[in-house]
Amino acid sequence: MVVGDHELDSSLRALVEAAGEAMHNAAKHSGATVVSVYVEVEDSVVRVYVRDEGKGFHPASVPGHRRGIAESILRRMERYGCVAVVESLVGEGTEVRLEMSLRPD
């Protein structure tokens, strides 16, 4: 579901790419049959939520050579001054929250 819209600039493109990586990870690794994605665009902020009710994991236990979360989500968002939070519990699923402040048009 998408609420609102905004012109796609390089920062927003980074958020879209991070969301894509979160969806890819959920589809590939969670074991869930459904991955939910919600995007909200307000005047000053964009928020993306990617959720699954899959097997979950301990984020700190992801091996260093697995760069999907670290590079493609967390550091990508950090480079653009955005916020990314990954919360997961084994047996409970995972939620990735991305947030970016918008510059006025």
**Sheet containing 93-101, strands listed edge to edge, beginning at the edge strand earlier in sequence:** 2-3, 35-41, 45-52, 93-101, 83-89
Whole-number pLDDT of residue 105: 55
Q: Tokens 């997961």 correspond to what residue?
A: 88
Predicted model pTM: 0.86
* 64-89 pLDDT, tens digit each: 676 668 778 888 999 988 999 999 99
Coil, helix or strand at residue 10: helix
Whole-number pLDDT of residue 8: 83
Coil, helix or strand at residue 3: strand
Whole-number pLDDT of residue 88: 93
One pLDDT digit (tens) per residue for the chain, 105 residues = 656 677 888 888 999 999 999 999 999 999 999 999 999 998 899 999 999 999 998 877 776 676 668 778 888 999 988 999 999 999 999 999 999 998 765
For domain 2-101, the CATH superfamily is: Histidine kinase-like ATPase, C-terminal domain (3.30.565.10)
